[in-house]
Structure 1
Amino acid sequence: MQLIQTVIVKQILTEKSKQKLLDKYFAGKLQMQKEFEQLQFELKKLEKAKKYQSSVLKNHFEKELQKRHDKEKLYEFQIEQLHMLPLGSELKEKEVQALVEIKVGDNWDEVMGQSTIIIKDGIIEEIR
């Protein structure tokens, strides 16, 4: 019989993976800044057109602007945290599903124990 089990994938922080994460976070932060500016531009454009009720419009845009601002702050926080982490640290990257083969006589606690895959620079280093 087969069961589906959740497996945690962790990444060992190396210079290469750290730079890759920094690039990803900076790109995300830049994207949020662009979206923020675009939303501000659209709001001003719609306010000048005066086709919509301004208070409803302004509330909607303020919520969207706040979301972008919060995401930008999250990226900044992630960048700060990444700078503080020493090389060799294990970072949880994601969770994946795996099929586990079980049979009569297997130790249930061992079978259902949390499995982890350790990756270093895109190569599987260890399966725990």
Structure 2
Amino acid sequence: MKILQNVIVSQVLTESSKNQLLDRYKTRRAQLQKEGDQLRFELRKLEKTKKFQPASLRTHFEKEINSRKEKIKLLEFQIEQLEILPIGSELKEREVQSIVDVEVGANWDELIQTKTIVIKDGIVSEIR
């Protein structure tokens, strides 16, 4: 029998991976800022047309703009934390699922034990 099991993928922080993560966070932050600016522009444009009720229109757009602001705050916090972390730290990157063979007589405790894949500079360096 086969079952699905969650596997944690961790990344070892190196200078290269740290720089890549910082670039990814900063790019995402810039994208969210552009989206916020675009939403503000669209709001002003739609308010001038007077085709929609201003109160509901503003509420909808403010909700979207605030959502982007919260994501930007989270990214700025992640950037600060990443800059503090020492090289060699392990970061949980994601979880993936793996297929595990279950056979009669297998040790259940070993089968269900959480597995971890450790990646260093894009290469699998360890499986625990």
Taking structure 1 as the reference length, the TM-score comes to: 0.98
| Residue matched to 1:68 | 68
Aligned CA RMSD, in angstroms, stands at 0.7
Distance in 1, Cα, partners of 2:76 & 2:9: 24
Give, in angstroms, the shift of residue 91 of structure 1: 0.3
Question: In percent, how many aligned pairs have the same letter?
Answer: 59
Give, in angstroms, the shift of residue 109 of structure 1: 0.3
| Residue matched to 1:121 | 121
| Residue matched to 1:37 | 37
Determine if the alignment matches structure 1 residue 6 to structure 2 residue 6.
yes
| Residue matched to 2:16 | 16
| Residue matched to 1:28 | 28
Q: Alpha-carbon deviations, 1:26-79, whole Å to 9, x = none?
A: 001000100000001001111111111000101001101100111111110110
| Residue matched to 2:104 | 104
Distance in 2, Cα, partners of 1:70 & 1:96: 27
Name the SS for the 1:3 alignment partner. Answer: strand
* Structure 2 segments unaligned to the other structure (5+ residues): none
Give every structure 1 segment of 4 or more consecutive aligned residues whose post-TM-superposition deviation is greater than 6 Å.
none
| Residue matched to 1:58 | 58
Taking structure 2 as the reference length, the TM-score comes to: 0.98
Name the SS for the 1:11 alignment partner. Answer: strand
Distance in 1, Cα, partners of 2:12 & 2:79: 17
* Structure 1 segments unaligned to the other structure (5+ residues): none
Name the SS for the 2:86 alignment partner. Answer: coil
